[in-house]
Amino acid sequence: MQIKKVGVVGAGTMGNGIAQVFAAAGFSVLMHDIDEASLQRGMNAIRKSLDRLWNKEKITELDKNETLTNIQVTTQLEQMEDVDLVVEAASEKYEIKSSIFRTLDQCCKPEAILASNTSSISLTQLAGETKRPQRVIGMHFMNPVPMMKLIEVIRALQTDDEVNRLIHELSKQIGKTPVAVNDSPGFISNRILLPMINEAVFTLQEGIASVKAIDEVMKLGMNHPMGPLALADLIGLDTCLSIMEVLHDGLGDSKYRPCPLLRRMVDAGYLGRKSAKGFYEY
């Protein structure tokens, strides 16, 4: 099977980044979101990202224009009927993702591969929502997608060997490094990263240090490019909470209990950069 046309479900931070890297690699891309405003924001983010790369002389004017030409948008999932691969990048909620997978299973051609950018949810469970479980796989990109090299490739229990091989090769085609990870809550990246962020929130809740101090310790002492609380704001506090809940529910260990302060901040609508207020103000 050859992959020529790629669908991306979700035009948010991850979705538009995924659309950009596939389009930049020469693939025809169809990006979906629920309304025109979301699609417009996604396309504007892609244009800004390409402009930054052009200003740094990492791409040419021709590269920029060809990438944009390769991207079409739609508010109708049914228009994914002729894509060879769909990468779902919707909110990190099982109900939302499973509903999308059921719809895609109905409207995509039988040989199409259904991939998810989920950062924590079981691919085996998502595959079970479809009539093509052997053609379901995880492609967990990192943020910001155009810059970060890693893709965690997660096989569902049902994933076909050939589909797995194809996605590894495709990841290399778009300039990424695929790393095979087994299907387990949080996989590798978030099973390690999110408990660290959660513990940073606990140290803040307990008054051990200020937001700035916590981040400075991790940046200057551990050589992290960004402190854990600033990183939480970048990821989105609601997404951090969702992942911690998946870890807690899926692994059943109290060490994954979401910090109450994290939950309160999400309840207050302090979600980080996307709401202009989280641990920092933007």
User: Annotated catalytic sites, by residue?
Assistant: 119, 140, 152, 190
**Beta carbons within 10 angstroms of residue 73's beta carbon:** 19
Exposure letters 195-232 (e unless 16+ CB within 10 A, then b): bebbebbbbbeeeeeebeebbebbeeeeeeeebbbbbb
Taking the CA of residue 254 as centre, how many other CA atoms within 13 Å lie in the half-sphere pointing to its CB? 0
Exposed / middle / buried, residue 42 (Cβ in 10 Å: 0-12, 13-18, 19+): buried
Show the CA angle centred on residue 235, arms to residues 231 and 238, nearest 5°.
120
- The answer to whether residues 93 and 246 touch, using CB atoms and an 8 Å cutoff, is no
Please give the structure tokens belonging to residue 176: 């990424």
Exposure letters 108-137 (e unless 16+ CB within 10 A, then b): beeebbbbbbbbbbbbbbbbebbebbebbb
